[in-house]
């Protein structure tokens, strides 16, 4: 006589083979949680101050909105409930992973996260040649040294300078200069340098023509400064660039000098 070892597992396998059971699995709920963004921009990257509307289909039983900064659902923080539409202030969040959990007919599903990002800008800087003083009537140049600027507004002592809307500005007045500007990717967002160079003007040292006794009654020299050019009737005298000049023609004489500060000065005629 043969003996068979009969175990419970063998019995179950035999029974299932004779009585197949149909098993139905439900992977998802009968609704689709696809977050829509308005406005829609490339890369979901927004400008500071933008407000983004997040929405999913309406008519479900319950909604819970979450965000986190890691992309891990375990780090989710609740930000809104019971609505299928929320508004996100980009200036408040900066960036984040946003998702929504919805329930309908007893089935709950969590959406895939949507990454929303924003541009971060450095404050503008002002470049110059290092000059902080210039002679009255002269000028110096300041400029924005980087690419990507959209709109510019130069300011003197905190006040906008009319018409000063280029990336380069010619300084002719003393004071502190700052710059407000926007970038091409976010042209409506203006940023101010906050600080900037301060300039002062040098007052030229006056000079006048004096008669040089050593040269006779027609010998001329300048009272101060280094002679650059002598003039007759407002026209430069060719070759007359020496410290003294002997006048040989009737008319109005002037002298151009460089004073001790480096400023150009003209004598009265």
Same fold, 36-118 and 127-202: yes
Digit-by-digit pLDDT tens for the chain (269 residues) are 333 333 333 333 343 455 444 433 345 799 999 999 999 999 999 999 999 999 999 999 999 999 999 999 999 999 999 999 999 999 999 999 999 999 999 999 999 999 999 999 999 999 999 989 999 889 999 999 999 899 999 999 999 999 999 999 999 999 999 999 999 999 999 999 999 999 999 999 999 999 887 777 789 999 999 999 999 999 999 999 999 999 989 999 999 999 999 999 999 98
Residues with Cβ within 8 Å of 173's Cβ and at least 6 positions away in sequence, in order, are 156, 199, 201
State the pLDDT at residue 89: 97
Q: Which CATH architecture has domain 127-202?
A: Sandwich (2.60)
CATH match for 36-118 among 3.40.50.2300, 1.10.3720.10, 2.60.40.10, 3.60.70.12: 2.60.40.10
Q: What is the pTM of this model?
A: 0.70
Domain-wise residue ranges, the chain: 36-118, 127-202, 209-266
What pLDDT score does 26 carry? Answer: 43
Tokens linked to 193: 């340098």
């Amino acid at each position: 006589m043969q003996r068979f070892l009969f175990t419970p597992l063998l019995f179950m396998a035999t029974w299932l083979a004779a009585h197949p059971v149909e098993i139905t699995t439900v992977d998802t709920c009968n609704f689709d949680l696809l977050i829509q963004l308005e406005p829609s921009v490339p890369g979901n990257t927004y400008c500071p101050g933008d407000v983004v509307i997040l929405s999913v289909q309406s008519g479900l039983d319950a909604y819970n909105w979450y965000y986190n900064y890691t992309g891990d659902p375990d780090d989710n923080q609740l930000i809104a409930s019971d609505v299928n539409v929320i508004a996100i202030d980009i200036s408040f969040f900066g960036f984040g992973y946003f998702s929504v959990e919805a329930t309908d007919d007893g089935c709950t599903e969590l959406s895939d996260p949507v990454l929303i990002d924003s541009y971060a800008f450095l404050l503008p800087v002002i470049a110059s040649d290092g000059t902080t003083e210039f002679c009255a009537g002269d000028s110096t140049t300041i400029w924005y040294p980087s690419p990507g600027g959209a709109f510019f507004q130069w300011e003197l002592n905190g006040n906008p300078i009319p018409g000063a809307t280029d990336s380069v500005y010619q300084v002719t007045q003393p004071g502190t200069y700052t710059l407000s500007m926007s970038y091409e990717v976010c042209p409506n967002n203006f940023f101010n340098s906050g600080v900037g160079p301060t300039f002062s003007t040098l007052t030229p040292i006056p000079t006048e023509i004096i008669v040089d006794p050593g040269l006779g009654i027609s010998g001329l020299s300048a009272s101060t400064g280094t002679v650059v050019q002598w003039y007759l009737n407002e026209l430069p005298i060719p070759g007359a660039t020496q410290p003294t000049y002997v006048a040989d023609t009737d008319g109005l004489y002037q002298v151009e000098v460089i004073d001790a500060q480096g400023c150009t000065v003209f004598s009265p005629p």
